Amino acid sequence: MQPVIGITPDYDSAAGRYQLHQDYAAAISAVGGYPVMLFGQGEIPLFLDGIVLSGGGDIDPLLFHEEPLRESGEISPRRDQFELSLCQAAIQKNIPLLGICRGMQVINIALGGTIYQDIGVQTKSTLKHRQQAPRDYATHSIMIEENTLLSHLWGKEKAAVNSFHHQGVALLGEGLRYSAKSQDGLIEAIEHTEKPFIFGVQWHPEAMKTGEQGRIFAAFVQAAAEFHAIRR
């Protein structure tokens, strides 16, 4: 049986509309998962074997105990509340989690960490983290830590990724470690040191569509299949 993977969509408050790029579902389907879209209502469905927290807009700074800077972008309170509660419940139940871009930041906040509201203002970075290039094109490098999930998946110390963000992980949440950083020191990937599979990346692997990026989804869906076997 295919592992069932729930994917959180973005939510347009003004239009009252959920939306999700097809690349997320395609990436999950390509490695044997069965993707379904999750809506911000009720508890985690019992049939879920894994959860992808997708990319999107900014997270409300009040949720990590900061006042909003003027550089902060549009927020979606409905999405924030749903994803944080979903993430915390999934962590308690050991449901595999994959956070992409904003999703990585949600995982970090759910575990008590913080994020930079705007890396251009709050760090000394001069790198371009919001690229003006096709979504599938890599525009900056990351340095991969040894003995991490990412190093095991890719077998290398350096790689190039795409980048579409102005926020980033600052103080790591409880139980998390970084598994990659960009050359300006910004955290680009995180993983949990104790839980079976909690992994986040700051880039968009679903958009790059390479075999290397596909191994991230394959490892996640494999973890979801193992979770399904345990809970049967």
Q: Which residues are catalytic?
A: 101, 204, 206
30, two tokens: 């390509």
Q: For residues 127 and 160, is the Cβ–Cβ distance under 8 A?
A: no
Half-sphere exposure (Cβ direction) of 112: Cα atoms closer than 13 Å? 5
DSSP assignment of 70-117, as one string?
A: TT---B-HHHHHHHHHHHHHHHHHT--EEEETHHHHHHHHHTT--EES
